Amino acid sequence: MLKRRLKYFFFSILLVFVGCAPRVAPPPAYKDMDLSLEEVILIVSKDVDALKAIAGINIEKDNEPYSYVKASVLIKRPDWMRIRTYKFGIVVGSFLIKDNVVYASSGKGVSKLKEFGGEFYHSILWWDKMGNGIMYKEGAEYIIKTGNKEIHLNRATLLPVSQEITAGNRNIHIMYDEPEREGDFWYPSVMRIEIDAYRFTIKIEKLILNPPLGENDFNLK
């Protein structure tokens, strides 16, 4: 009996230490550098041409809970993205974008995100097609502007802080948080996207860089 109690005691102590373990912060590797836009894009892209992510998406409407889904996200440069959403392991929604064309969509709440699929793509691969932008320094941030976007980067880590996108007559606000690492690639594991009355909080649970892709990866089945 004593041995069993000691076993549970030490197991409980282990859980406390694991739960209280500090989050690893990205190193301020670029704090004292004065980089150009070309250098920033070269550093952050790290030859990433495709990625696969498993994420949880919490959807709010008018600041009230609206829906929650799990999602499988597959992205391939340039401008290809497939999202499938799941509840209880069953596909409940999907949409596919190829070259900025939406081929199909379904699912409560996710259909709203589909309207801005291109912006969702660029919220993840934010550096894609930013080479013609204008970049300047402001305090602890780099600010990159293009015709319809403004991205704020942490100068020390080159991680995105926020992004503003104008799409037609709508403004899309994106906030980034909770940096994580896959190998030597740092990325924000939480994105909050605000579109009209909707807020999408996306938590990336697993990320795979440059996964092997098959001919059926970008279909709707």
Q: Where are the domains of the chain?
A: 26-209
Q: CA 73: distance to chain centroid?
A: 10
pLDDT at 107: 57
Q: Give the single-character DSSP code of 148.
A: S
Which residues are CB-neighbours of 3 under 8 A, at least 6 positions away?
A: none
What residues form DSSP beta bridges with 94? Answer: 84, 106
Long-range contacts of 179-185, Cβ-Cβ distance < 8 Å, separation of 24 or more: 179/25, 179/26, 180/204, 180/207, 181/24, 181/26, 182/207, 182/208, 182/209, 183/209, 184/46, 185/46, 185/48, 185/209
Which residues are CB-neighbours of 33 under 8 A, at least 6 positions away?
A: none
SS3 14: helix
- What is this structure's pTM? 0.81
pLDDT tens series, the chain, 221 aa: 544 443 444 444 444 444 444 556 788 889 889 999 999 999 998 889 999 999 998 989 999 999 888 989 999 988 888 888 888 888 887 888 887 777 766 655 455 556 656 667 888 889 988 889 999 999 999 999 998 899 999 999 999 999 998 877 888 899 999 999 998 889 999 999 998 898 999 999 999 999 998 877 877 66
Residue 154, H or E segment: strand 149-154
Residue 38, H or E segment: helix 37-45
pLDDT at 178: 95
pLDDT at 64: 95
Q: CA 201: distance to chain centroid?
A: 10
Domain 26-209, what architecture?
Clam (2.50)
Which residues are CB-neighbours of 147 under 8 A, at least 6 positions away?
A: none
Residue 8, H or E segment: helix 2-19
